[in-house]
Amino acid sequence: MGISAARLLPEFNLLFLFCCCRRTEKEGKMPVATLLPFTATPNRKSASPTSFRLTEKFILLLVFSAFITLCFGAIFFLPDSSKLLSGVFFHSSAVETNTRTGPDSSDSGSAGSEDRILAKIRKDHEKALLEAKDTLQKRTDEIQDDILKDKEKVIKEAMGQGGNDINNLPFVEYRRPPGATGHEPLDPETRERRAKVKEMMKHAWDGYRRYAWGSNELRPVSKQGHSSNLFGSIKGATIVDALDTLYIMEMFEEFDAATDWVEKNLDFNVNSRVSVFEVNIRFVGGLLSAYYLSGKEVFRRKAVELGEKLLPAFKTPTGIPWALLNLKSGIGRKLALGAGCSSILAEYGTLHLEFIHLSRLSGNPEFGQKVMNIRKVLNRLDKPQGLYPNYLNPNSGQWGQHHVSVGGLGDSFYEYLLKAWLMSDKTDEEGKKMYYDALQAIETNLMRKSSGGLTYIAEWKGGLLEHKMGHLTCFAGGMIALGADGAPADKTGHQMEQAAEIARTCHESYARTALKLGPEAFRFDGGVEAIATRQNEKYFILRPEVIETYMYMWRFTHDPKYREWGWEAVQALERHCKLEGGYSGVRDVYASTPNHDDVQQSFYLAETLKYLYLLFSDDDHLAFDHWVFNTEAHPLPVIRRDKTEAKPNQVE
């Protein structure tokens, strides 16, 4: 209504004074004209006593109405009116205590009450000003944290009222696929070698548990924890990465300890930036695999929780995710690598397997939609010579510099195209076509043979070949063997030959070093073959890719040389990398004495030892008909299509 107390006061005074003057005039004390000359009118008629009383009553009613309006205006329109109401009408002791200004204030009457009210209003006003000043002086990140806390509180309250509570996921019929654990090999030598690999796993795990429990990784020389900025403030990378290896090796006591840590200590509510790719393949992949092997609900819940925290990475104009993401704020960043700080092919292209399973386990189709959109973006782009450059700008959706590699920056993109088709029970025709088209372009443009007859996959830079092959590229032998069965009939044998040749080349990179461990990269120029010529390429950090190819080649050919090559690697690891505290990488594989880098990588337990164990296991242990491995060697089950599609959440 907008009537202010200040505007009512003159009218109230005027009416009150007029009423008093009329009363004195009637009593013969003072004429009205003397007191209120501005209200007297010369032509005014004399009023009868009766009409005079009615007028008086009317005026008194007006006065009373004005007074009531004034009171309610003061109560409801002045600042902090609820407290004022309490103090004026109910004599709240708290208000009286806070508004007293002196020892005589309780005896000061209405004037004192007004002073107390004004003092209280002034105090509250000053407090509000101070709070506003404090807010303005806060740093931007502090204000953002406050906003996020309020947002999280609202979300939690909404969940409590029936929202999508992460602890109340939809029912999924759990069936453990065949081959989660295997039988002892019948051959005594193979059984002994398999037991040796399990012993290596126990040594690596015990060192981590003793010296670095809860940290991301172990420093076996200094016997302490090690953290990489890849994981931000998330802890326990080795625990999550090792879960499935512990399970398939039937180290159930260790598996239970790891499970207990995950349930009680694994926390993703961290205000730090992480690598979307690394967190996905290690944490999401590790949790999903542990769930499918054991059926423990805690792993499904944690995997979906982390998956939901990764979704904001896709908030780009193209839907190509950022490389880095703050898990708390949901703010993404690009890596300061490549042309225009673009997203990397191997990173945004290595989410498909995990995100499809996240959709199945959570009932949320958004995970699958995000990774399928990546394919749509890629299919719209022209590929130079049919190749996929390593860099793509997530804002413009355009390629960065035309650098192509099947090793670092590109490797697992191709792997996931093939495995997406296999994981879909061979129904993902788009993934299949993209894989075989890409493989044809790689064979044409990148595969070469050295003068000594070694097949290698070079790197392509704007049409120029760099005759270098990375240790990471050695996974390609296993990938090509895995996909050979799905190739056209006239290509199957050819691709198996290619896979075998790549396996031999990668074995040579090991055999030609002093420590019998492979370098990070090796070259085929300047008169050398399969040898690292630069100091920054001579290190070995316990990588699994060469052994991964041995395992695949053994499964498809049963050629005993692959087990022999794997056993050579075991002996080299024991001789040069094993320490009292665990296993360490080395800085120069050509040196006669190892110089340890003092890091036991989490992927050593997740991949290297797992692939070695499977190399000496029977083929029905994690059989390829039922399982696919993500790029961190975490086994995920093939998603069987129900004939009637009546149970879309069934995973077998």
Please tell me the CATH code under which domain 169-185+268-440+628-652 is placed: 1.50.10.10
The answer, yes or no, to whether residue 112 has pLDDT greater than 70, is no
468-470/464-466 β-pairing? unpaired
Specify the pLDDT at position 73: 57
Average pLDDT over residues 595-600: 98
Instruction: Give the residue-averaged pLDDT of 569-589.
Output: 98
Higher pLDDT, 511 or 526: 511
Q: Residue range 87-113: average pLDDT?
A: 40
Average pLDDT over the chain, rounded to whole?
83
Confidence band of 199 (pLDDT split at 50, 70, 90): very high
Q: For this structure, is 520 an active site residue?
A: yes
* Rounded Cα gap, residues 17 and 9, in angstroms: 12
Residue 552's nearest CA partner among 633, 606, 491 is 633
Active-site hit among 520, 548, 607, 632? 520
At residue 163, does pLDDT exceed 80? no
- For residue 58, give both structure tokens: 């009317």
8 Å CB contact between 393 and 466 = no
* Tokens (6 digits) for 51: 């009409």
Which tokens is 563 given?
A: 């087990």
Q: What is the CA radius of gyration of the chain?
A: 39
Dihedral of alpha carbons 55, 56, 58, 63, sign: positive
191 near 185, Cβ under 8 Å? yes
Shortest CA distance to 16 belongs to which of 59, 45, 51? 59
**E strands, 369-508, where?**
391-392, 403-404, 447-449, 455-457, 459-461, 464-466, 468-470
The 3-state DSSP class for residue 469 equals: strand
Residue 18 has pLDDT above 50, yes or no: no
Distance CA 135, CA 500 (A): 66
Beta bridge partners of 578: 583
User: How are the residues of the chain apportioned to helix, strand and coil, as percentages rounded to the nearest 5?
Assistant: 55, 10, 35
Residue type, 583: Y
Whether 545 has a pLDDT exceeding 50, the answer reads yes
> Among 105-109, 174-178, 562-566, which is the least confidently predicted range?
105-109
pLDDT at 76: 45
Cα–Cα distance measured from residue 275 to residue 489, given in angstroms and rounded to the nearest whole number: 40
pLDDT average, residue stretch 499-518: 98
Check residue 540 and report its DSSP letter. B
Phi, psi values for residue 186, rounded to 5°: -70, -35
Q: So what's the pLDDT on residue 120?
A: 65
Which residues belong to CATH 1.50.10.10 in the chain? Answer: 169-185+268-440+628-652, 188-228+446-617
**Span of 4-18, 526-540, 550-564 with lowest mean pLDDT:** 4-18
CATH of region 188-228+446-617 = 1.50.10.10
d(Cα 233, Cα 236) in Å, to the nearest integer? 10
Relative to beta strand 224-226, strand 217-219 is: antiparallel
Give 298-350 pLDDT, tens digit per residue. Answer: 999 999 999 999 999 999 999 999 999 999 999 988 765 544 578 999 999 99
Residue 185 has pLDDT above 60, yes or no: yes
Residue whose token pair is 């499935």: 244
Percent of the chain with pLDDT over 90: 69
Q: Alpha helices of 78-187 — where are they, by DSSP H?
A: 81-90, 93-99, 109-137, 140-160
Closest CA to 322 of 344, 346, 339, 307: 344
Give the three-state DSSP class for 627.
strand
Pull the structure tokens for residue 241. 């990465």
Task: Render pLDDT for 120-150 as a digit per residue (tens, 0 to 9).
Answer: 666 666 665 555 545 444 444 445 555 554 5
pLDDT-derived band at 119 (thresholds 50, 70, 90) equals low
**Other beta carbons less than 10 A from residue 321's beta carbon:** 27
pLDDT digits (tens, 9 = 90+) for 42-75: 343 333 444 445 666 667 767 676 666 665 554 4
Could you tell me if 418 and 483 are in contact, meaning their C-beta atoms sit under 8 angstroms apart?
Answer: yes
User: pLDDT at position 129, please?
Assistant: 56
Give, as one character, the DSSP assignment of residue 48. P
DSSP state of 176: P
Report the percentage of the chain scoring pLDDT > 70.
72
Q: What is the pLDDT of residues 69-85, one digit of tens each?
A: 665 554 444 444 433 33
Q: Is the pLDDT of residue 391 over 80?
A: yes
pLDDT digits (tens, 9 = 90+) for 601-613: 999 999 999 999 9
Confidence of residue 556 (pLDDT cuts 50, 70, 90): very high
pLDDT in tens, 214-253: 999 999 999 999 998 899 999 999 999 999 999 999 999 9
